[in-house]
Structure formats: C-alpha cells, structure tokens
Structure 1
Amino acid sequence: MFETIARDLLLERTDHTLEFYEGSGSNWRLTKTGTPGNIGSFEDVLFANNDMQDTPVTISLFPIFRENQYTVGLSFVDITKQKLGLAEFLDDSQFTNVEAVMVALGCKECLLPMESGKSVEFKALHGVLTKCNVLLTERKKSEFKSRDLVQDLSRIIRGSTEPVRDLLSEFEHALCALGALISYAELLADDGNYGCYTIEKYNLDSYMRLDSAAMRALNVLENKTDLNKNFSLFGLMNRTCTAGMGKRLLNRWLKQPLLDVDAINCRLDLVQAFVEDAELRQGLRLHLKRISDIERLTHNLKKKTANLQPVIKLYQSSIRLPHIKDVLEHYEGQFSPLIRNKYLDPLQRWMNEDGLNKFIALVEVAIDLDQLENGGYMISPKYNRNLAALKEQLNAVEQQIQNLHKQTANDLDLSLDKTLKLERGTQFGHVFRITKKEEQKVRKKLSTHYIVLETRKDGVKFTNSKLKRLGDQYQKVLSEYTSCQKVFVAQVVDTTASFSEVFETLSVILSELDVLLSFADLATSCPIPYVRPDITPSIIFAKYSRRTVLRFVCFGLSYKIDLHHFDDSDYYGLNINCDYHGSTPLGLAWAICEYLVQVTRAPTLFATHFHELTALAHVDGHEPHSSSNLGVANYHVGAHIDPESHKLTMLYKVEPGACDQSFGIHVAEFANFPEAVVTLARSKAEELEDFSETFSINNDLKEEVGSKRKRACSPDDIARGAARAHKFLQQFSALPLDQMDWNEAMEQINKLRSVLEKDAAGCPWLQQFF
C-alpha cells in the first residue's frame, strides 16, 4: 500500500511533497522527505518491484527583468547521475526557452525566489511550470547567492577545481541559481557526495527544441490514459533488455532529438549493422537481458546503508561482459571499425587487471558465492576465525534440516524434492511444501503429526516441532554471522565504490547498445519493412518511408516521403496548433493561421473546429477576401455513419478535403443526453449543414469537398455586405481613440454602428451580425 501511495505522489502526480514520520503516541519525528525532484530517500520503496524509467531532475531559476528583457540564470541537478549543469540566456515574455529546457531535461521540480510569485513579469513563468507538470518550490531570495560557491563545489566536484573556476566565470545569474540548488538538495550534508559530481555548461542549441504541447501532440512519452504501449513513441520503441538503464536513455533521447547530422548518421550506421546481422543482434540481446541496472547500483553503493546486494549484482553483470565482447569481436561487417571504436576498445580498456578483472577477483575471494543459490549475501568465512566457526555451526544445523527432510519424505511416502520440497522464507522460516493434490493423500498424517501453516494455489506449507526448532536455531546463528560480518561488508562496499568510474562508463556503453538494439529489433519485426533515411546537412530523404524517427534515431516504415532538416525553428520549424475554438475567437484563430501561411511559412499542422478557416485553401472561395494560398490544403479524419442506426464509426484515416459535418450529436447520444436535446440539435444541424454544394481547393489533388455550412445569401449580397463591413472597420480604425475620453469614444462608435445597422436592413449577410 505504501509503495502504491509513494509512487502516485512522487512519480505520477508530481505536485506533492512526501514526509515520513516515525514514533508513537505524541512523540513523532520526521525521518524522510521526498519530492518529485529528489526521491533518493524513497528509492528503495519506489523501485523495489519496478524499473526506474526516468531520472528526476531538479531545476533552479533566477530570472531577472531588466531593460524590457528577461535574463534567466538556470542550474539543474540530476542526483541519480550525480551531475550539475549551468545555463544563462535571454528569454521572451512566455519563457519558451525555459519550457524547452524543462522538457529536454525532464524536470520534476523547480526552485524559484519567493518574490517572483508576486511579480507580474513572471506570472507566465508559473504557467510554464504548470504546463510542464513541474512542482514549484519557492525559496527565500537570500538562498540565491553565489558566495563561497567555488569552495562548496571543490568538495563535491570530481577532479581539479581549476576547470570549475573557468566555467563559473562565464556566468552571473546562473551562479545564484546554483547556490540555492546546492543548499536545497543538501549536497554538502552527505559526505558520500564528495568528489562524485560533475558539472557542465548546458547549451540550448545542442538538441531540437520541443515544448510541452509538442510532446503531447506527438505522443512522444507514455501517458496513463494510453490504451496500449503503441500509443506513444516510447512505448512503441521500448524493446530494451537491461533493467532500467536502456529505458532511461531512450526516454532522454526522445526528449533530446539530435541536430548534428554526423551524430545522427553514426547512430543510423549502428542500427543498420544490427539490422543486417541477425546473429550479432540476437547474441547481444541475449546477454544484455542478464545485465542489472548498473547506473542505479553504482549510485546505491555510495549510500551509508549499502549492503552486499548491489555488489553481487554488479559482479553478475561484470561476468557477462566478456561474452558481449566476444559477440562484438565476431562482427566483420562494413561498420566493424565504428563498433570497435565505440564499444570494443572501451570494453577492452576497462576489462583489465586494474579494472573489472580486479573487481571480479575481489568478489570471488571476499563473498561466499555458494550462498547465492539460497538467496543469501554472506562474506566468505575465510576472512575471519569467528566467521569460520559460525559457518561450521550453520552447516551443521543445515545438515540436520536436510536429514529431517529425508525422514519426512519417508514418513509421508513422498518423493524427496520432487514432491516434498524444503523451503526457507521470511515469514515462516524453514517449511515443507507439497501440492494441493498430494495434500489430499497425506491429509490424515498432516493433521496428527504436523502443523499446517498455509494453503495457497502453489500448495500447502507445513512444519513440525523439530523443523521449527532447527529453523529457529539456524536463524539465530545466521543473525550472529550477519552481525559479525558488518565490518567486512562495509570494507567490501567501500572497495567496490572505488570502481564507480569503471561502472559509470560501462553503464553508458551498455545502455546505448541496448537502445540501438531496441531500434533494430523494432525495424526487423515490423510486418512492413523499415528502411534507413538518407541524411545530408540540409535535407533528409527517406526512400519509401512514412514514419522515420530521424533524430532519435531509428528506421521508418516503407512509404515514400521527403523530409527537410534545418537548424532554426522559426522559418523551417514544425508548428502544431490545436483546437482554436471555445474561448479563442475565430478572428484570432484566422489571424494566427494566416500569419503562419503568409509570413512565417513554416510547416504547420493546424487542427481547428472553425470550419470557416478552410476558406484559406480556396482559389475561388465564397468569401470575397479569400485569396489563393499556395501550400495550404484541407484534410480531415474520416468517419462513417450508418444511415439506419446513425451509429458513428471512426475510420482513423486522413482524407483530403474539409470535414463536411459535425459528429457532436453522435457523441451526445453516446453520452446519453436527453432525447429532446439531441432532436433539437439534429434539426439545428440540418439547417447549418449541407453536403451537396462543393468547391475546388487549392492543392495538387483538386479534390471536391462538401461545404460546411449552407449559404443562405447570394454571392452579390455577401460581396456588398463585406464591402460595407470593411468600410465600417476603416472608419473605426481612423478614430483617434487615444485622444478621447470614454464617453466621447462610445458616442462616436455608436454613431458608426447605427449607420451600419441602417445599411444592413437591405443586406441579409450583414443582418446576421446584429
């Protein structure tokens, strides 16, 4: 239950702080605190039964409004990857750069000075946090200071402090944000952080910029409302094998699409190698399935509560690496130099006597690997005389338990191990277990000589007085052994932590391999073959390709398309505008669309409920002011209505032409609206919708599409009315309103309106506005 609540508050909602108290009566104390950006205290609970799919990032902002422009100082921390970042940039009044950074980093929490919430200039910034589902944490402005920052960083940053000084000298406001972040995250309070962090300058132009609306519109990441995994790019492309590392890297790649063509081609070369060589692909995936989450295990080693479990899992992953290396060495295709440079050489460099081989030897000497079969993590008894003596006692008790197991099998006339099993668990300790079918045969003996503990689908668990006594004795000796080995466990954990640099490098290599193999597996398993797009610095050509995930980078489905690749998002970027209706007036929606067509001229997907906007694509539209707009075309998603039952069936097919009718009535019927309301709506729709009249649209297909609304006025009436309305607008715009008081302005406007209303008496088209 607690795991479910914690995951909901910290991973799903991301707008709560979780506090954990211990005590009784009136004496309670706070022992753990967690936020969406800092979940370290609850990691063991959150990811006990689930992989960690994304690393939470906390961001700190120090915005300044000066000389009518916004300057933003930004700092972020990724506690899982132990990485700090700095950036400083100019932004607009809507903080679009801040939003792009938040999306790219996957921010969960944002620190802001308390004073920013009271400022009108920064109101839009709070709206950005809401859109990005980021928790706002306000801190005192006194915490946003850069004093003693170099000294503080020298403790936690790995390596020399000189590069750190040079980096900090490039920033002003970002240093204040970093000071608040270090204080809030309490990085200096834990000496386990000392010498472990890295710091970098974050460049906004490193990746393609995506805002939160684009991420949702393109279904990039998973959503809890998705019906299945293929509803999102992440779900479709996630075929990773490693325990969490690959998922997190895929998540990051999807949020940070590449812009560098060489880097894109490099990834595509690797995907092509794995697609073309099935033996290479399958061999690597087979071994990667045995790899644990090295990144998280390395992070856990640095905690004071670390035990032998992460050490053992790192050992089990390390002994798989020679097999991965052998599979890579057997590849002799055209990309073998690239694979050697990217993977083989680094693996060879770290698999030496001072690297992984030394760690493997340490574990095999220090840990009793024979106990792993029983689920125990024990220091080898060779380390200490007391451990050796306790080990002998454990073996002696265990032998007695095994003898009792044989006696019980003979007593019940059951096959040893095959039918009568001996198990050890945390709830009952040592118990016997048989199937429910066998229990019926020995039920009489069980009821007289044994104690039945539990009956479940997997069988019946039972014990007797002798097994219970031996089990308690075994547990007592085991507890003594565990207590005696604590000092040696700490030594082994500390020694393993000294290999952190090795494991961090390996986690990068293996997670990258995992994601690229996932792309290759997707490309080869699709019923319609995926192909590789051809990429040049200014154009992407995917021969017979319909869905190319170009910058992440994967192959695409086999249909023809030309895609252009540019660096600037103004003229050449993709705009996605959705649902200009409701509170957004038609005039504003029209102006935005017209500006995109005639001025920005960027590729745009414009979804709207305003059928009038379809006139932008007309060569000879019904509106006199409509003009030919090259490159504008109307499309709609097809649907079928049964003429008898009026049942609506969505076809999920994009078809040319404007949508010729509304389906709101059918949705209302599905929602069980009152019949009288539906009948009235249907009659009103018949007045407004007419599917017979057609017109030509301005595109190469010259499709004939139905008009949305019946035209009650003649073309002459429309032309005359529009000309009169245009004259009214000219007269209104000529009024010197800035030089008039309110009453005088309203008097002049009412005069113009009254004249217009008189002229409208003979024009049906103008009358509809009154």
Structure 2
Amino acid sequence: MGKPADTPMMVQYHEIKSQYPDAFVFYRLGDFYELFEEDAIQGAKLLELTLTARNKNSENPVPMAGIPHHAAKNYIDILVDQGHKVAIVEQMEDPAVAHGMVKRDVVQLITPGTKMIDGVGSDKQNNYLAAVLPGDGTWVLAYIDLSTGELKATTMYRFSDVMDELSSLEVKEVVLRKNDEQTTRQGLATQLGERGLVISTQTITGENATVSFLTQPLIKSDEVAATSMLLNYIFDTQRRNLDHIVPAVSYERLTYLKFNQDTRTNLDLIENTRTKKRAGSLLGLIDETHTAMGGRLLKQWVLKPLRDQHDIESRLDLVQAFQDDFFTRGALQDHLKSVYDLERLSARAAMGTMNAREIVQLKRSLLTIPGIKAVLSDTTSILNVTGNKLDDMVDLASLIEEAVVDDPPISVREGDIINDGFDEKIDNYRRVLHDNQQWLAQLEADERAATGIHSLKVGYNKNFGYFIEVTKANIVKLEANRYERLQTLTNAERFVTPELKEHERLIIEAQAKRTQREYELFVTVRERVKANISRVQKLAQQIAHLDVLAALSDVADNRRFIRPIFTDHNSIMIKQGRHPVVESLLSVGEFVANDVLLDETTNMQLITGPNMAGKSTYMRELALIVILAQMGSFVPAEYAELPIFDQIFTRIGANDDMAMGQSTFMVEMAEANHALQEATAHSLVLFDELGRGTATYDGMALAQAIIEFLDAHIHAKTLFSTHYHELTVLADQHASIENVHVGAVEDDTGHLHFLHQIQKGPADKSYGIHVAALAGLPDELITNATKILTALENKETVITTQNQPADTMQPERSGLSEQVALFNVDVADKETQIILGALDDFDILKMTPVDAMNALNALKQLRK
C-alpha cells in the first residue's frame, strides 16, 4: 500500500506494482507511459531516458521517466531482450466520463518467453517459453511458442536432460510451480538462473474448459499438470484471446536421434561456434527454404533427426520425387515466394492484433494455393497425392478479396480499408464525402463572385475545421457581418458561416460513421479468419513440409548429395564422404573426400596424424552425414550405407567452463564420462585428443583405459583421434579396433605437405614440430626443438639453461618412466613440508578459479 502522503494516483500505482514486483510497470498517463521510483531510475539507465521527478518541490520528490505511447514497443523490446519483464498498465475507462480516479489495470505482462517475435532475421526463429515440474523420480518439461501456438510436453528422468532440452530449444524463460516447497523451488531457480534463464512462478489452479481441451491429448498426469501450469501462466499474463494455441503433443526424446548441447556446438549445427552466426553452420548451409514456417521446421529437423526408418524413408521419398522433377520443384518454389508466415498471421488473428495489411498478406498467401495444387497435380509421383491434400480455402480468400483493399493503411481505425461496392452504407458515406468536394468548390466559386475577391478560398484545418480565407489586403472588400471571424493569421483572416458549420457537421458525421463502419466490417472479416484458424494452421504445416523437402532437394542437386541407404547390419560404408560446410568454403574440387568404412566386426578407428591434417574434419563429417541422413536429407558422398543410430557423443576441441568452475580437463573428462555412461552399441562416439589436458602419462593412461572400456562394454561405433602413438598397439590386441591415419609427406627440403587423406595403419610420427614451423615459429627455436625431440626419442632427458648453446648440452640418460622431482621432501625444512602437505590436500579438479586463488593466498600466508 502507498504511504499516507501518496496521491490517489501513486496509491493506485503502488497497488499495481505490488502485484508485479519483478517487472517494469509502464503506467499509462495520457499519451505517455510513465515509470516511477526505482523503475524510473533503472529504466532511465537502460533506455537512456531523461530522469525527472514528480512533485519536484516536495520534500520527497518521486523519480519519474516517460516514454511516448506510440514508441513504447521499441523500449519494451529493449528491456525484454535484456531479460526483464514489462507490465503494461492501461486506462480502463474514458477519463472524460470517469468519476474520481481513472481505473487502470495491467492488460499484458511481456516477458522474454511471451514476446512476439518480429523484425528482420527473426522470422525463422521460435521463441519458446517452458515450464519445468519435478515429479516422482521424473522431470516434466512443457513448452510453447506463443507466436505460432505450438505446444509440447515430455517426461525425462534426469535434470541434466531437462537442461539440455532447454538449451536445444533456446528457451529464455522458465515457469516453476509457486506452491512447491521453497527450498526445492529456490534450488531449481538457482540452477536455471546460472544458465541465464529468466525465472517466473505460477500457482497450479483448477482446470478450466480451455486448459482441459488443450491438455486432452496428454496421457501422463504429470505432463497434464506441467502443461496446465504453463497455460495458466500464459492466460494470466497475456489476458487476451489465444485461440491459436493447438492441443498439446507429447513426445519422447528417445524417438529422435539424441545429442547434447556440446555436440550441437562441436558440430556447428545451428550456428558457427566462432562467429555465433548461422553462416558457417550446417543449418546455414542447407536452409534454402522460401517461407518462415519452412525455415523454422528445417531447424527442428536438424535438432531432432528421426530414429524410425519408415518415417525417414517417407521424407527421403519426397526429396527424391522433387529431385526427379526439377520443373515441378522450381514452379512450386516460385509460388512459395508469395506465401507469408501463416502460423504467425493466425496468432495475430486470434489475439485481435492482425491489421489490414496482414489480412491482405493472408489473402495473397491463400491465392497461391490453387497454383501450388495445380503444379503438384501435374505430376504422376507421390507429389500428386500431397498436392491433393492441400486446402486452398477459396471461401476465406474470396471474402478478403471482396472486402479489403489491396493496399490498406496500417491503422484499422482510420478508414480506407473496405473496398467500394462491398457495403452499401460505406458507399453512401463515401458518396457524401465525394459530393462534399464539389459542394465546397461551388461554395468557393459563389463567394468569389459575390465578394469580387478572386483570391478567396475555402479550406480545411484539423484544429478549426472548414473555413473561408481572405487576405488582409482584401478585407475592406467584405460586407460588414457577412462572415463570422474564426482565426487571424499574419497575412489573412479566416471566417465561417452558419451554412458552412452545418455542412461541416454533416461531413464530420459521415466521416466518423464511415470510419466506424469500416472498422466494424474489418473486425467481422478478421473474426472469419479467427474462426478458420485450425484450417490455416494445418495448411501452414503442409506448406512448411513442402518447402523443407523442396529445399533439401535443391541442396542435394546443388551440392552433389546422394540418397543414403539404411541397413540392419551394424556397419558403416561411406564412399567419398565430405564435410558439407568445409567444402562450401573451398574452391571447387579443393576439398579432399574420404571413405569411412567400419564393418560389423570393426567398432573403432584409432586416428593418428599431424595437427591440421584433417582428423577433426573427418570425424565431424561422419556425424553430419548421420544427422543429415536421419533427418531425411540426402548426404554429401558418392555412396552411403548406414545403420540407424540412437545417439551421438562428441568430445572435440579444448573448452573450459569458468562460470561453473570447471577447467578444460575437467570439462573433457565430464564429456567423456557422459558418453561412457549413456552410449549403447547403436551410438556414434567421436573422441578427439582425449587426455591432452593433463600430464603425458596420466593422459595416455586415461585414453587407453577409455578405449578399452568402449571396446569391452559399449561396442559403439567410435572414431578416436589421438597423438599418443603408443596407443596404436591396441589395434594388435583388440580385433574390433583398427588404425588409420591422415597422410602427410615431407619433400626433399623437409617441408611438410598434408594429403588430407585417410589411410590404413598408424602414422609414422606426429609432425608436431613441422606444424610449428608452418605456424612461423623462429628457425632457431625449431632447430632446438628438433634436437630435444631426438634426445627424448633416444630416451634421454636433456637438462639445459635457456641460453646454453645447443652444441654444449650435456644429455643425462634416464628412463622415460622416471620423473625429476620438483622438491626433495626428505631434506625440506619444516615450513616447506607444511606447505607441501597443504598442497596434497587440494582437490584441484574440483576447485573453481576463485578457490584456486584463495588457496594460493593461503599458501603465501603460511610462507610468511
């Protein structure tokens, strides 16, 4: 409640603010939204507004910042994009007739998860809002895209899977159950908040008819509860019609090829890891779609490839059909260029925000459907059947064509929306307005003749209405009291007559009635659209599928992709496989293709060879071929025979997670453990340089143990890249492991040339120093490194100072298994022994960077 000294308006503001403490309250005052108190202080900083104060001369002035009503959307978008919420407070009654304080209320809460996506580059993006509900040994996730009406739910058994699905969906806001135990909710909020997610809460209330209808397809009670909570949050915050939301769909993650966020990042599936843009990613390469719906659907296919062979083959059959009929594909895509975002147009119709230009976009989209059907019907393939299933919605398209002009204004309340001949009343009003121009022209002619003032004119001003204007030089020619003075200008006087006033009243009345009548008819048309939302949404899904399949056929043609073959045998046979993204960045013919051959008896390839030679590219291209194949696309190869994989695991690149206190090596081991715990014999595992983040022998021991564990217990198809040449002997000890290497040759001058070709057997050496030379390290350094390497390979430990000439080095022979002690504990003093004991107690792998700094400081204090 407000303080005793608060004005009635501030009392009203505080009552509203208390209901939305975590939101910026945009409080409507006339033509402005006002921010008060802390909202104004923070909002002025974030939005670069001028911070003023209400009651400046009082003892406690109220901080205040204003935003013009017409520009509010831009400011709201800025706040929401930064993770804030905005509560829109509108006047609920006309101030002119209100008694006392004007009633105000929140009409909408805009949050990161409920923001309606728009703007350049966002048409192919979803904006998901999710709800997470802990169950009895399970976790339920429900999510919705408010801009399209898509609603789904799934049940998982580990919180890590929930986090991964949230990452995959790029969720920005999560709703938690408000009546959960506080410790449970706070724990969840902390974990979710650490990943940058906005947290909201919602009380689970009794079901209403709408919620019951939308959750009816769900069988699991926990999924019903989570979805109901999500829907109630939507209804409470949006407070408008949401008839475009489709009934919920339940899905199982295991029905799709599963991979986590690390794999999505390592493979550059959706965006390039380095640039954070679509260009340079798999999606950026294959997205040849022509509609927004198709673009969003293609992204979903990339992130969720299929595991059911029948469903995969059904998609491939349609891609094949489009590839076999180039002219049909081209004609279809010409029509698709005229199709707007039917899903989001449906949402705007349901919410009552669809304007006249958008309804014309819907009409133009629908008018393309008969052409699409005709194109597909001319074929003798399965495309004919697909075309016959399209609903061209001639009834709705014809209504819009008859009712709405082709180029309407944005505003729906200022007229000029409805076609001539559609409504008799509007035609009559327009006739009156048209006749008005003739009447005014005749009045002007008559008055010029009567007064003899040839410069006299009849005009109109928005503030003063119709007037007769006479220049001051001609005032003397006017008869006394002929006109009633209206306005004085610098060089003229403006007048009015009773006749002109009466005519103005009639014209204004006709204008107002015409405008109101046009708005009413437009709303009627929009309601017809709303009544047909389910038809429009079904059509949108069909068009999106056609768009994606035709696009994949385009990609297959343009990039020489072939149809993959799926086999029941657990073998991989890829001939001349290529990394599609890397290939697209090189000149034609420059990319070196490779075979990937793992028969039923071979589960693992140990890949050796120099850095930069193409080991990682070889590994990634296999994963991308698998993903493309199982999403229903052709693949970059001359021949591809594959099993159906259930999961893909990758450990590629050196990454840390400083925010979570994990070093590069800890992340490496965590990702390896994830694969070892989850992989099955039907999985694909890609491990690149495991063990390099620790001491040589530790790393080699871990790498060998992981290889043998995979071989003994999991039997997954595995590509294991390593610089530990000692591990290549494992191929002699395990029948399911084979050695391959990336070829490289030295010329007569000692320079290294990469062949980028995968060859049988292990590499003869690592060529690390050659790569260092290619990187441009000083010749003196390279020469010294070569001598040190020779000594090490001869099992010599070279002890030298930094400036000691190379030819004076005195090698001291030692077994490589021996290590030089950093400290001689036996002769160390008591103080040193205490410090060494403290070091022994540190669990470095579990320490965060801050913990490490604090530990180092503690050792310094011991030294003092």
1:536 aligns with 2:538: no
CA contact (8 A) 2:149 2:244 kept: no
For residues 186 and 237 of structure 2, the distance between their equivalents in structure 1, rounded to whole angstroms, comes to 34
Q: For residue 186 of structure 1, report the CA deviation from its aligned partner.
A: 3.1
Unpaired runs of at least 5, structure 1? 401-472, 621-625, 671-677, 696-711, 726-742, 751-770
Corresponding residue number in structure 1 for 2:540? 507
Corresponding residue number in structure 1 for 2:418? 379
Residue 661 of structure 1 is aligned with which of 765, 768, 771?
768
For residues 78 and 790 of structure 2, the distance between their equivalents in structure 1, rounded to whole angstroms, comes to 49
Q: Within 5 Å, which residues of 2 pair with 1:562-641?
A: 562-567=641-646, 569-577=679-687, 589-590=699-700, 593-601=703-711, 602-606=716-720, 611=723, 613-618=724-729, 631=737, 633=739, 635=741
Corresponding residue number in structure 1 for 2:844? none
SS at match of 2:268: coil
Corresponding residue number in structure 1 for 2:637? 558
Please list the CA deviations of residues 131-189 of structure 1 after superposition, one character each: whole Å capped at 9, or x if unmatched: xx6614153xxx464x52xx23x224557x8x45xx35x334x4553354234333586
The change in CA–CA distance for 1:111 and 1:322 in structure 2 (over 3 A counts) is same
1:366 aligns with 2:403: yes
SS at match of 1:378: coil
Q: Partner amino acid for 2:555?
A: L
1:391 aligns with 2:398: no
Q: Partner amino acid for 1:554?
A: S
The change in CA–CA distance for 1:113 and 1:227 in structure 2 (over 3 A counts) is closer
Residue 259 of structure 2 is aligned with which of 207, 210, 229?
210
For residues 4 and 640 of structure 1, the distance between their equivalents in structure 2, rounded to whole angstroms, comes to 61
Please list the CA deviations of residues 292-341 of structure 1 after superposition, one character each: whole Å capped at 9, or x if unmatched: 11111111111233222222111111111111111111112xxx2x3344
Q: TM-score, normalised to structure 1's length?
A: 0.62
CA contact (8 A) 1:104 1:256 kept: no
For residues 475 and 650 of structure 1, the distance between their equivalents in structure 2, rounded to whole angstroms, comes to 85
Corresponding residue number in structure 2 for 1:233? 282
Q: For residue 227 of structure 1, report the CA deviation from its aligned partner.
A: 9.3
For residues 793 and 434 of structure 2, the distance between their equivalents in structure 1, rounded to whole angstroms, comes to 92
**Could you tell which deviates more after superposition, 309-318 or 593-602?**
593-602
1:339 aligns with 2:387: no
Q: For residue 525 of structure 1, report the CA deviation from its aligned partner.
A: 1.7
CA contact (8 A) 1:37 1:58 kept: yes
Q: Within 5 Å, which residues of 2 pair with 1:125-274?
A: 135-137=197-199, 139=201, 143=202, 145=204, 147-148=205-206, 151-152=207-208, 154-156=209-211, 158=213, 163=216, 167=218, 170-172=220-222, 174-186=223-235, 190-194=239-243, 196-223=245-272, 225-226=274-275, 231-242=280-291, 244-274=292-322
Please list the CA deviations of residues 692-741 of structure 1 after superposition, one character each: whole Å capped at 9, or x if unmatched: 9799xxxxxxxxxxxxxxxx897x9347x59x99xxxxxxxxxxxxxxxx
The change in CA–CA distance for 1:182 and 1:217 in structure 2 (over 3 A counts) is same
Corresponding residue number in structure 1 for 2:132? 61
Q: For residue 105 of structure 1, report the CA deviation from its aligned partner.
A: 4.0
**Could you tell which deviates more after superposition, 652-661 or 499-508?**
652-661
Please list the CA deviations of residues 1-53 of structure 1 after superposition, one character each: whole Å capped at 9, or x if unmatched: 99998778767xxx622538799xxx99988654442212xx3xx32x34421
SS at match of 1:319: helix
Q: Partner amino acid for 2:528?
A: T
Please list the CA deviations of residues 619-658 of structure 1 after superposition, one character each: whole Å capped at 9, or x if unmatched: 69xxxxx9668525465698999999x9xx9979466636
For residues 773 and 164 of structure 2, the distance between their equivalents in structure 1, rounded to whole angstroms, comes to 39
For residues 581 and 4 of structure 1, the distance between their equivalents in structure 2, rounded to whole angstroms, comes to 50
Q: Partner amino acid for 1:308?
A: A
CA contact (8 A) 2:270 2:281 kept: yes
For residues 477 and 586 of structure 1, the distance between their equivalents in structure 2, rounded to whole angstroms, comes to 89
SS at match of 1:77: strand
Q: TM-score, normalised to structure 2's length?
A: 0.56
Corresponding residue number in structure 2 for 1:755? none
For residues 193 and 684 of structure 2, the distance between their equivalents in structure 1, rounded to whole angstroms, comes to 23
Corresponding residue number in structure 2 for 1:110? 174
SS at match of 2:173: strand
Q: Partner amino acid for 2:138?
A: T
For residues 274 and 368 of structure 2, the distance between their equivalents in structure 1, rounded to whole angstroms, comes to 38
Q: For residue 497 of structure 1, report the CA deviation from its aligned partner.
A: 1.0
CA contact (8 A) 1:75 1:84 kept: yes
Corresponding residue number in structure 1 for 2:367? 319
For residues 533 and 55 of structure 1, the distance between their equivalents in structure 2, rounded to whole angstroms, comes to 30
For residues 259 and 181 of structure 1, the distance between their equivalents in structure 2, rounded to whole angstroms, comes to 29
Q: Taking every aligned residue pair, what percent have the same amino acid on both sides?
A: 20
Q: Partner amino acid for 2:767?
A: D
The change in CA–CA distance for 1:628 and 1:496 in structure 2 (over 3 A counts) is closer
Corresponding residue number in structure 1 for 2:486? none
Structure index of larger Rg: 2
CA contact (8 A) 1:17 1:33 kept: no
Q: For residue 121 of structure 1, report the CA deviation from its aligned partner.
A: 12
Q: Partner amino acid for 1:488?
A: L
Q: How many residues align?
A: 576
Please list the CA deviations of residues 105-132 of structure 1 after superposition, one character each: whole Å capped at 9, or x if unmatched: 4433333468899679968x966886xx
Q: For residue 667 of structure 1, report the CA deviation from its aligned partner.
A: 10
Please list the CA deviations of residues 246-298 of structure 1 after superposition, one character each: whole Å capped at 9, or x if unmatched: 11011111011011101111111111111111111111111111111111111
The change in CA–CA distance for 1:144 and 1:563 in structure 2 (over 3 A counts) is farther
For residues 555 and 304 of structure 2, the distance between their equivalents in structure 1, rounded to whole angstroms, comes to 20
CA contact (8 A) 2:429 2:510 kept: yes
**Could you tell which deviates more after superposition, 285-294 or 590-599?**
590-599
Corresponding residue number in structure 1 for 2:851? none
**Could you tell which deviates more after superposition, 112-121 or 597-606?**
112-121
Please list the CA deviations of residues 473-501 of structure 1 after superposition, one character each: whole Å capped at 9, or x if unmatched: 99999898544421111111111111111
SS at match of 1:107: coil
For residues 283 and 531 of structure 1, the distance between their equivalents in structure 2, rounded to whole angstroms, comes to 23
Corresponding residue number in structure 1 for 2:467? none
For residues 587 and 5 of structure 1, the distance between their equivalents in structure 2, rounded to whole angstroms, comes to 57
Please list the CA deviations of residues 550-605 of structure 1 after superposition, one character each: whole Å capped at 9, or x if unmatched: 01222123344543324464223122445757865666754653344222342344
For residues 244 and 427 of structure 2, the distance between their equivalents in structure 1, rounded to whole angstroms, comes to 37
1:283 aligns with 2:331: yes
CA contact (8 A) 2:339 2:365 kept: yes
For residues 277 and 399 of structure 1, the distance between their equivalents in structure 2, rounded to whole angstroms, comes to 61
CA contact (8 A) 1:109 1:137 kept: yes
CA contact (8 A) 1:72 1:89 kept: yes
CA contact (8 A) 1:101 1:204 kept: no
For residues 640 and 127 of structure 1, the distance between their equivalents in structure 2, rounded to whole angstroms, comes to 52
